[in-house]
Chain A
């Protein structure tokens, strides 16, 4: 298992521990080698190697499996969670708490004594056509409503962003892609520090808002071209139309996704280079 694969799971474990009031400093992590466990700190994480809880052992605390091979023959007084790797629970094993399987390989012998057993299904469920339509309509109503309000109150902001989209798509796209990628990398790495996790979540949320603002500008542009008298209604309809176009593009393999991404990045860049629509973007005059 690579560093990039293990780190997010380790962060997840730390978050769960923090949520359950256990200090991460009392956690022990095994990355490699053979290990027999007969007593544990508050939390024990198996990230690699071969770990065994022997038949005569009674361990207290939480056990997390995020890699490697783990075998429980003895008693665990606490919860056991499997996110990756392999866990075997034998006939002689007892788990007084919850055995939760999220991913990875789990085998439980029929004679094992498990307090409670749950499985979290993280496989992607195919949406029904009705649900898909419902979600798109909900987005249309929500973003359309925001577009209508903004058009009524600050129409020039949306117009300025829209001008950057139509007048300077290449510059907007370049700024959108470089800023979007940089922000994404920074926020993800912030999350790994744990200390900056709240800031990371806020940052990602802001990035989504910026993309949403770009969508509103597209909607405004489309609305201006509709034969509707009221500007706010036109913007709302424009946003609805834009979202519908994006949804349809998503159904075209490769090319559709590429166009979707380009539109998103151009919108994001246009928002940034116009300072959220406050300042009209004018490239410098280059004499010669």
Chain B
């Protein structure tokens, strides 16, 4: 691991870069999985008084606007050279965090549809700016061989905090906690971008030059990945599938009290702690796999684990519907643990993948496409679909069956595609003698 070498050599600026990146990304991801994904539904339904379908429409709009903003900002970053300008990126990020802070603080006082709409528009724009900017920091701060491990640490920290610390899933609770938690982040970023502390300025100078060494991602050798190439769009499509499956299933699971109260919202602390620990173990495993295998191996594992997880969920539901007398309050924890493992796997992959498919010249665009389309658009579209299905009275078993079918389809599809690609390659080699 390069990190150990930097510590031994006393390269403290680089070490600081690692810590800064991990802190920013973990905090940002925690904010998204709690406040944005869970808090927004509560805000729209409970405080504003909209129906679930109406909220789902607004969320789809949020997704689309975020995606468009991210792509515009990403392209602008690359064209204007901001992608390789650390100070500009930190200034942009500081602005995003300040806007998010205000939005978070005012969220519980929103009680009308126009105010909710305005909140969504401002939130989308700030999130759209935030994604390409934050992900592109990887080319300045994290050396390529360590990106898998760093991604694993970010995932571990974010999910451990989200699961181990008991919070009620309401916008008021999220708002209170996150406004307090964001203050240190704002202070640190303000100090960094102010350029008034000489030592920190020197550190930033040093970090600003690192993109020359760290800028070219793992999958950009020997030739960089082009934006209009299968090398970029295949992972985008696969990651879109992963996020879509996850969100489509999870949103329904958390609406089912018997499932969520025995796992993520369990009053028993050891249950939540077990889930949090499995997230950590899963992320570290994914980090090791990312570094030591081809990225497709990790995609295969993600789809296989998702398929297996939903097979277990649907099997339990089928048995319970066949033999209602067998249903007890002690729901098995195996399913949420497997779910947590899978989520950690793909989240780790997501953090490392986009910078590794980019160079310093393309990281803005590629991160925006990757995160905006695969992550953001997929999550919120599936959230909208999930809420729509629930509103259409589609049963839990049918809903999870659909998710399971999608996971199995992607798993089998990926295997067939990989095998087919290899087959064509071998056939061409045989032809050419």
Contacts and interface: CB of A to CB of B under 8 A. Distances in A.
A283 B221 contact: no
A28 to B, nearest CB: 12
Contacts of B308: 182, 185-186
B334 A189 contact: no
B294 A3 contact: no
A32 interface: yes
Interface in B333-364: 334, 338
Interface string A257-288: 00000000000000000000000000110111
A182 B305 contact: yes
A3 B322 CA distance: 12
Interface in A186-211: 186, 189, 192
A216 B414 CA distance: 34
Contact of B143 (A6, A170, A175, A288): A288
Given A174-B289, A186-B308, A4 B325 contact: no
Contacts of B294: 284
Given A288-B143, A288-B216, A31 B325 contact: yes
Contacts of B214: 288
Given A2-B330, A31-B325, A288 B291 contact: no
Interface residues of B, number: 35
Contacts of B338: 185
Give the interface centre of B289, B294, B320 by most chain A CB atoms within 10 Å. B289
A3 B145 contact: no
A2 B320 CA distance: 11
A180 interface: no
Nearest to A1: B328
Interface in B206-262: 213-214, 216, 218, 221
Interface string A28-71: 01111000000000000001110000000000000000000000
A7 interface: yes
B325 A286 contact: no
B332 A3 contact: yes
B1 to A, nearest CB: 11
A283 to B, nearest CB: 4
A283 B285 CA distance: 15
A175 B324 CA distance: 38
B422 to A, nearest CB: 14
A3 B319 CA distance: 9
B339 to A, nearest CB: 13
Nearest to A33: B325
Nearest to A7: B319
Given A3-B327, A177-B285, A189-B311, A287 B218 contact: yes
A4 B332 contact: yes
A56 B319 CA distance: 35
A178 interface: yes
Question: Which of B213, B324, B326 has the most chain A CB atoms inside 10 A of its CB?
Answer: B326
Interface residues of A, number: 30
A22 interface: no
Given A2-B328, A170-B288, A288-B216, A178 B301 contact: yes
Nearest to B315: A189
Given A31-B324, A47-B326, A185 B319 contact: no
Contacts of A48: 325-326
A170 B148 CA distance: 14
B432 interface: no
A31 B291 CA distance: 50
Contacts of A29: 323
A66 to B, nearest CB: 11
A283 B145 CA distance: 12
Contacts of B315: 189, 192
A132 to B, nearest CB: 33
B13 to A, nearest CB: 18
A32 B213 CA distance: 69
A81 to B, nearest CB: 20
A85 to B, nearest CB: 13
A193 B319 CA distance: 11
A43 to B, nearest CB: 16
Nearest to A31: B325
Nearest to B2: A288
B340 to A, nearest CB: 13
Nearest to A285: B221
Interface of A: 1-4, 6-7, 29-32, 47-49, 168, 170-171, 174-175, 177-178, 182, 185-186, 189, 192, 283-284, 286-288
Interface of B: 143-145, 213-214, 216, 218, 221, 285, 288-289, 291-294, 301, 304-305, 308, 311-312, 315-316, 319-320, 323-328, 330, 332, 334, 338
6 contacts: A3-B326, A6-B326, A171-B292, A174-B285, A178-B301, A287-B216
